[in-house]
Structure 1
Amino acid sequence: MANVGDRPGREVVQVYLSRRESQLARPPRWFAGSAIVHASPGETVSAHITVPRRLFANWSAEDHDWRVEAGFFTVHAARHADASVLTVGVQPN
């Protein structure tokens, strides 16, 4: 995040996950984490957000365990769920 203003700033960076071709019933995006960043005027800062593997998983009634669906998920970083400033594809192990 870059503070291009002339006053100190604060932003809440939110991370959401999505999966385009899921075989499971999922919401279009689900919340995965957030961080608050502070930046002085002219300063650029990074937000570090760890997304636990569990947030990629769904409960399997058949296996009685959490399972991660094979394939790619999209990670969205934004100010809110309807905006995507940064997206990246990931494949959880």
Structure 2
Amino acid sequence: MEIKDIILSLISVMGTISSIVFAVLAFRRNDRGDHKEAGKNEGVLISDVGYIKSSIDRVEKSIEKLETGQVEFGNRLTKLETEVHDHIYNKAIHKTTGGTKK
């Protein structure tokens, strides 16, 4: 073998090794970039879930206030119905003598 053939063989081997090294380095760089992108997406997702949770909490508080108001309104209505019923069936109020109430 001549020196020329040996040098060309060494250059081709070095070229092959360098292409493999560059491929591995590019893969690692892209892999880190993928992890970074996945981390960003996960952060956005966690943030959105937190916002949804806080919105649900606000809605639950509003519903609780509405339910409390509805119960109070129902109690007032029941009391009013009782008073109207008592007024209607209270015979003493409706008895009149000569156009005036007793």
Of structures 1 and 2, the one with the larger relative CO (CA 8 A, separation 6+) is 1
Tell which structure's C-alpha radius of gyration is larger.
2
| TM-score bucket (shorter structure) | under 0.3
Instruction: Name the structure where strand makes up a greater proportion of residues.
Output: 1
TM-score (norm 1): 0.19
TM-score (norm 2): 0.18
